[in-house]
Amino acid sequence: MGTTAEPVGAAEFVPAGADLDTVRAAAAGCRGCDLYRNATQTVFGEGPADAPVVMVGEQPGDQEDTQGQPFVGPAGRLLDRALGEAGFDREAVYLTNAVKHFKFAERGKRRIHKQPSRTEVVACSAWLATELELVAPELVVCLGAVAAKAILGPSATVGELRGQVVQRPDYRITGTVHPSSVLRAPDRTTAYADFLDDLAYIRHTAGQ
């Protein structure tokens, strides 16, 4: 994909003045970058169209790509468990990703996650921007570094966002690690406890 295509990747496919369901349907035909070629399908965001909280991850994983829904694999199940334990109203959360297609490398019969490039994040950014415009949340939660950079720019880090709130004209922004990092942590018990602490802070920030 050439550099000149970066800013307009997905923008060509986003229908103007449409509601969330129409935008979701349009995203199924996105060809804004090359990731669609190997992915099974576009995985768009899901949740209430007026959710006060939007949580943004990196990209769909293997199970998300197969099922066409965000956060249904191991990381998603951990997130659901943690939200419940942190007292979060799960039904008030809209879940999506910075990149809507699964990027992977094949190893035998397995498909191994590969982090999307900055070019791919930028190419997909029109979908995320449209979701945030239509849902109009009070709080955006970045789950992991890719999401933080997608929302706040390439210099953003999760470390700077944890326990902090950034005020933007349309919504507030905070962040924590991606739940997949908890699954990969050498000390999963401590990582999960820290994740719960972050979610409790986020719930308080969201006023839930």
The pLDDT tens digits for 31-77 are 999 999 999 999 999 999 999 999 999 999 999 999 999 999 999 99
This prediction has a pTM of 0.94
User: Quick one: CATH architecture of 3-206?
Assistant: 3-Layer(aba) Sandwich (3.40)
Q: Is the confidence at residue 2, as pLDDT, over 60?
A: no
Q: What is the pLDDT of residue 8?
A: 53
Q: Say how many Å lie between the first and final Cα of the chain, rounded.
A: 43
CA 157 to chain centre: 15
pLDDT at 5 over 60: no
Dihedral over alpha carbons 7, 172, 52, 177 (to 10 degrees): 80
pLDDT score recorded for residue 92: 86
Inter-residue contact 145 to 157 (CB < 8 Å): yes
- Which residue ranges make up each domain of the chain? 3-206
Q: Give the phi and the psi of residue 54 in degrees, each rounded to 5.
A: -115, 125
Block residue for tokens 């900055």: 118
Tokens of 92: 């008030």
Q: Write out the two tokens for 136.
A: 């109009």
